[in-house]
Amino acid sequence: MTDITISPLRQRLIEDMTLRNFSPKTHWAYVHGVKILAEFLHRSPTKATADDLRLFRLHLVDRGYSVHMINQSLAALRFFYRVTVPRDDLVATIPYIKQPEQLPVVLSQAEVERLLAAAPGFKYQVMLSTCYAAGLRVSELVNLKVADIDSSRMVIRIEQSKGNKDRYVMLSPDLLAMLRRWYRQERPEHWLFPGMVAGNPLTTNIIRWAVRRATQKAGITKRVSPHTLRHSFACHLLENKTDIRVIQVLLGHARIESTNHYARIALGAIGDLTSPFDLLPREAAPPA
């Protein structure tokens, strides 16, 4: 914050988020959102006006912030003025910016196979295979513990993921074989994929680096990230006729709408459909 008098205000904001069990990531994002408003105003955000907030939104756009980053800052301000410093008159003047709807990048099964084979070493091959085989977010992957692998029930337990929810996903027999080989080789004690610092899990940046290296080596020209493996997992399930409500549960989506957009990119499922044009009655073709 720009003014020392705002420090108690920041503490109250943190306490309000703590009472609602917000994640550490949300804590950082909301504090940062209020902080950049204070820096823009050069005074306490408690004294902001509706016109101030309008100019602030324009400022974020002019600075080239992404739509996601702008809406994250606006979400922070909406919480701040709804809970920490109740100002209903301001909350109504902080609309979100409409985000362009973009379909995610999805790999074919052949491309996934090439990507996994091109991973920079067995360690990363196991991690990327786990991402794809279970449809995990990268944050879920790095926080996996040895105890989360339940081979007796052939499931993987995902603890306190997005939205502070637990869920189970399937444990592929082929993945289990890889994980057992990994365990015999490394003997991890707590974290399935320990980090460089003793007692800490691996960082997400390492996974992103591994995906970039594998993508280049595999000669894949698509823009690939660890999340691409999760998108591909969902699409390939849908193409194999898996019920979309089952996919919703596996992905941990709170709303079915979040899962439905995969129906627009599951090209295998689309290709198997019959066009009504092919069902039209046809007259016999005239003789040549």
Residue ranges per domain, the chain? 4-91, 109-271
Tokens of 34: 């209020």
Highest CATH level, class, for 4-91? mainly alpha
* pLDDT computed for residue 1 by the predictor: 40
Q: Which residue has the tokens 């996996």?
A: 144
Cα–Cα distance between 59 and 37 in angstroms, integer?
10
Residues involved in catalysis: 137, 162, 227, 230, 253, 262
Residue 183: CA atoms inside 13 Å, Cβ hemisphere, count?
14
Query: Looking at the whole model, is its pTM more than 0.75?
Result: no
Q: Which helix (H) or strand (E) holds 149?
A: strand 149-150
* pLDDT computed for residue 163 by the predictor: 63
Which residues make Cβ contacts (< 8 Å) with residue 89, sequence separation at least 6? Answer: 50
* pLDDT computed for residue 279 by the predictor: 67
* pLDDT computed for residue 225 by the predictor: 92
Whether residue 252 contacts residue 162, with contact meaning beta carbons closer than 8 Å, is answered with yes
Tokens of 140: 């879920």
pLDDT tens string, the chain, 288 residues long: the values are 444 445 788 999 999 999 988 888 889 999 999 999 999 999 999 999 999 999 999 999 888 888 888 999 999 999 999 999 999 889 888 888 887 777 788 899 999 999 999 999 999 999 999 999 999 999 999 999 999 999 999 999 998 777 667 888 999 999 999 999 999 998 988 999 988 877 788 888 999 999 999 999 999 999 999 999 999 998 898 888 888 888 888 888 877 777 777 776 665 555 555 667 666 676 655 565
Per CATH, the homologous superfamily of domain 109-271 is Intergrase catalytic core (1.10.443.10)
Whether residue 89 contacts residue 50, with contact meaning beta carbons closer than 8 Å, is answered with yes
Give the Cα-Cα-Cα angle 107, 231, 244 (nearest 5 degrees).
120
Give the Cα-Cα-Cα angle 105, 33, 1 (nearest 5 degrees).
145
Instruction: Give burial (CB, 10 Å; 0-12/13-18/19+) of 53.
Output: buried
Cα–Cα distance between 2 and 104 in angstroms, integer?
39
Kindly report the backbone phi and psi dihedral angles of residue 222, in degrees, each rounded to the nearest multiple of 5, phi listed first: -70, 155
With b for 16 or more beta-carbon neighbours within 10 A and e for fewer, the 152-170 pattern comes to eeebbbbeebeeeeebbbe
* pLDDT computed for residue 5 by the predictor: 46
Cα–Cα distance between 43 and 3 in angstroms, integer?
7
Closest alpha carbon to 29 in 64, 65, 59, 63 = 65
SS3 label, residue 41: helix
* pLDDT computed for residue 31 by the predictor: 93
